[in-house]
Structure 1
Amino acid sequence: MDSPKLPIENLSFDDCWELLADDTLGRLAIVVDGHPEVFPVNYVVNRRSIAFRTAAGSKLWGALMERPAALEIDGYDPASELAWSVVVRGDTQVIEDQAEMDAVDGLGLEPWQPGEKSNYIRLNAKALTGRRFQVNRPDVWNTRLQDRRRASFE
């Protein structure tokens, strides 16, 4: 017999910032040439904003134009069977102050992708939302082997 589902929990701002601070990889969404693009980025939380490094290209161009962007992270805890998602929306800007760049580096910002990432970008949060919810139990016999929910039931 399945247990009753818990309602979707809207996360507080502090909960969202804590989840963001505990993670290192997010998906950055920006508009490039009139259409949405999504890029994985390694980031840190600095002064209640998101900071990341990038090479020259679309992310830098968007930041130079101070365009809107969004960053999304999510996770799943097999022990509690709870999933969560956090979305930060705001404007991007280039970090040019050396002391700010040093502070970001001091937080352990380290891009995974090889290559020079000498441009520091900040996503200033204008909207922050998050939610946590209990996931559906998988049909262990029919669920794909790579589905993270399976770990709870095997």
Structure 2
Amino acid sequence: MNSNAAPMTVLDEDACWERLAAQQVGRLVTHVGDVVDIVPINFVVDGRGIVFRTAAGNKLAGLSINGDVVFEVDEFDGDARWSVVLRGEARVLSNEDEVAAAEALPLRPFVATLKPTFVRVEATSVSGRAFEFGPEPRREDVQEG
């Protein structure tokens, strides 16, 4: 670890969106009552939100009951070590113009399944951190603050 570098840096909002836009897969967290689910999804950034496709099933049913979601993307490869968390409100796109705009996005299912429903998550907040990995410092070298 670079001795002059902080082990963790808070990313500003623009840096968070840049990292989100550079990825294709993240994890969507939903909750209905006491049940919390986390599923991998492929997505695209669209403005200050994300769009993904899905089919009928538990994910879509859960989103229709409670659209409050958390979405997380990270990268821990080579020199890139960061995590971005987006909190927002998910809604199924049903307006003809919104669906047409979503269909024009570079978003295709990763697996050979029909996913006819487009969902948009409008961000209410986005936060992120970048990490500098290295050995744990010695306790006697760390000043309490």
| TM-score class normalised by the smaller sequence | 0.7 to 0.9
Indicate the residue corresponding to 1:24 in structure 2. Answer: 24
- Residue identity in the other structure for 1:123: V
Asked whether the equivalents of residues 95 and 121 of structure 1 are also in contact (C-alpha less than 8 Å), the reply is yes
Q: How far apart, CA to CA, are the structure 1 residues paired with 2:55 and 2:80?
A: 36
> 1:29·1:36 contact (CA, 8 Å) conserved in 2?
yes
Q: Deviations over 1:47-85 (max 9, x none)?
A: 21111010111221233234211110001341xx34010
Structure 1 residue runs of 5 or longer lacking an equivalent are 138-154
Distance 1:104 1:76 in 2: 30
> Counterparts in 2 of 1:113-132, with a 5 A limit?
113-132=111-130
**What corresponds to 1:4 in structure 2?**
3
Q: In 2, distance between residues paired with 1:86 and 1:67?
A: 20
User: How far, CA to CA, are the matches of 1:5 and 1:70 in structure 2?
Assistant: 33
**Alpha-carbon deviation of 1:93?**
0.7
Q: TM-score when scaled to structure 1?
A: 0.78
The answer to whether residue 98 in structure 2 is matched with residue 100 in structure 1 is yes
- Alignment match, 2:131: 133
| 1:68-79 → structure 2 map (5 Å cutoff) | 68-78=68-78
Q: How many residues in Structure 1 have an aligned counterpart in Structure 2? A: 134
Q: Distance between the aligned counterparts of 1:77 and 1:71, measured in 2? A: 20
- In 2, the alpha carbon distance for the partners of 1:132 and 1:121 equals 28
Post-superposition offset of 1:134: 0.9
State the 1:108 CA deviation: 0.7
Structure 2 equivalent of residue 67 of structure 1: 67
The 8 Å contact of residues 70 and 87 in structure 1, kept in 2 or not, is answered as yes
State the identity %: 35
Return the offset for 1:33.
5.4
TM-fit CA distance, 1:110 = 1.0
How far apart are the structure 1 equivalents of 2:89 and 2:5? 34
Structure 2: gaps (5+ residues):
136-145
**Contact 1:63-1:121 within 8 A present in 2 as well:** no
1:76 is paired with a residue whose SS is: strand
Rounded Cα–Cα distance in structure 2 between residues aligned with 1:119 and 1:102: 12
Q: Judging changes above 3 Å, is the alpha-carbon distance between structure 1 residues 120 and 101 closer, same or farther for their aligned structure 2 residues? A: same
